[in-house]
């Protein structure tokens, strides 16, 4: 009962961000990328590997993924439209209530949908949506969002340099005294991810990452291999979680393989 109550409270807190003075950016409802742009990106072997899930990526799979994202799943409708919360370009919401999906590893997104549907990753909103998707639709929408390269939203709020420095240290080398391993060990250099199974952290929203770490620590989220994240989060304080999340929210990939859907953003660490 305590676990359920805590989850509902935190979910309500995140959903209420827009009511507490944190601006919620409008979603890019009509900015769906064309198949020609996605095909161009998939000509790069690294992008293709990032998008690959279970079958070869072709036009039909991309089109099905876009259809699902727009609410056209077999059991779809407006309540099932991914772009309503995550945007047609997968940018998510700047408040952190909805994560960025653009360029996220396809297999990782697919697994999260499977876990939402099975209850291994409980979520009041996503569980119901995932349970109504077919496995083919899960794969298709995961591939669709993984093939997109979208601009980053501006980072909200101001964080002092000492906090960012601590977050960067946790990311790069961890804390030997506390037994916290470096994030880069699994999430790659500068938190750019390690496809197919490890998500990127760079450019993800700080509020979202902090919230996920809290869920790992509380045991509400428990869907990783060998309980790695649960073990790590259990050693972190709230200040640690905030610091590392704010740090990675400000990191931008140093390289864009193919031109993005909009004007590229310069490499930035810090405000």
Domain ranges of the chain: 31-146, 161-249
Number of neighbours of residue 19 by Cβ within 10 angstroms: 8
pLDDT attached to residue 22? 41
- Position 29 confidence tier, pLDDT thresholds 50, 70, 90: low
- Dist CA 134 CA 222 (whole Å): 23
pLDDT of res. 174:
98
- Average of per-residue pLDDT across 81-94: 92
- More reliable by pLDDT, 88 or 129: 129
Mean pLDDT, all residues of the chain = 85
214-251 pLDDT, tens per residue? 999 999 999 998 899 999 999 999 999 999 999 999 99
Q: Is the pLDDT of residue 257 over 70?
A: no
- Biggest alpha carbon distance in the chain? 51
Contacts 24+ apart (CB under 8 A), 6-9: 6/218, 6/220, 7/122, 7/215, 7/218, 7/220, 8/124
pLDDT at residue 33, as a whole number: 82
CATH code of the domain made up of 31-146: 1.10.760.10
As a whole number of angstroms, the distance between CA 24 and CA 106 comes to 26
3-class SS of residue 198: strand
Higher-confidence residue of 261 and 87: namely 87
Residue 180 three-state SS: strand
- The CATH architecture one would assign to domain 161-249 is Orthogonal Bundle (1.10)
Q: Is the pLDDT of residue 76 over 90?
A: no
Q: 161-249: same fold as 31-146?
A: yes
Task: Check residue 264 and give its pLDDT.
Answer: 41
**130 has pLDDT over 90:** yes
DSSP three-state, residue 194: strand
Q: Buried b / exposed e across 150-189, counting CB within 10 Å, b at 16+?
A: bebbebbeebeeeebebbbebbeebeeeeebbebbebbbe
Within 71-205, residue ranges assigned H as helices are 83-86, 106-118, 126-131, 135-146, 161-172, 184-187
Question: pLDDT class for 30, splitting at 50, 70, 90?
Answer: low
Closest residue by Cα to residue 4 from 112, 123, 96? 123
Put simply, whether the predicted model's pTM sits higher than 0.85 gets the answer: no
Can you tell me the distance from the alpha carbon of 118 to that of 137, in angstroms, rounded to the nearest whole number?
16
CA 58 to chain centre: 24
Average pLDDT of the residues in 60-68:
95
Residue 157 has pLDDT above 60, yes or no: yes
Token pair of 208, please? 């979202």
CA dihedral 111, 205, 249, 120 (to 10 degrees): -30
Residues 245, 248: Cα–Cα separation, whole Å: 5
Per-residue pLDDT band for 79 (boundaries 50, 70, 90) equals: confident
pLDDT surpasses 80 at 51: yes
């Amino acid at each position: 009962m305590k676990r359920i109550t805590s989850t509902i409270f935190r979910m309500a807190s995140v959903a209420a961000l827009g009511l507490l003075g944190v601006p919620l950016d409008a979603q890019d409802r009509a900015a769906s990328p064309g198949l020609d742009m996605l095909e161009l990106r998939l000509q790069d072997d690294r992008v293709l590997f990032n998008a690959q899930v279970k079958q070869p990526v072709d036009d039909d799979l991309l089109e099905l993924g876009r259809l699902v994202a727009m609410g056209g799943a077999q059991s779809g409708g407006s309540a099932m439209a991914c772009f309503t919360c995550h945007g047609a370009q997968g940018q998510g919401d700047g408040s952190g209530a909805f994560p960025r999906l653009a360029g996220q590893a396809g297999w990782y997104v697919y697994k999260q949908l499977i876990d939402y549907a099975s209850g291994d990753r409980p979520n009041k909103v996503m569980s119901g949506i995932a349970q109504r998707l077919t496995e083919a639709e899960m794969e298709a929408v995961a591939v669709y969002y993984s093939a997109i390269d979208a601009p980053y939203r501006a980072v909200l709020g101001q964080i002092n340099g000492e906090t960012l420095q601590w977050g960067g240290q946790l990311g790069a080398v961890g804390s030997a005294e506390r037994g916290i391993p470096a994030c880069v060990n699994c999430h790659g250099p500068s938190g750019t991810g390690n496809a197919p199974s490890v998500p990127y952290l760079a450019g993800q929203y700080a509020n979202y990452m902090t919230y996920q770490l809290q869920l790992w620590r509380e045991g509400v989220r428990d869907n990783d291999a060998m309980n790695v994240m649960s073990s790590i989060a259990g050693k972190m304080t709230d200040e640690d979680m905030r610091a590392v999340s704010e740090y990675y929210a400000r990191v931008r990939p140093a390289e864009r393989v193919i031109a993005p859907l909009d004007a590229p953003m310069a490499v930035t660490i810090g405000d």
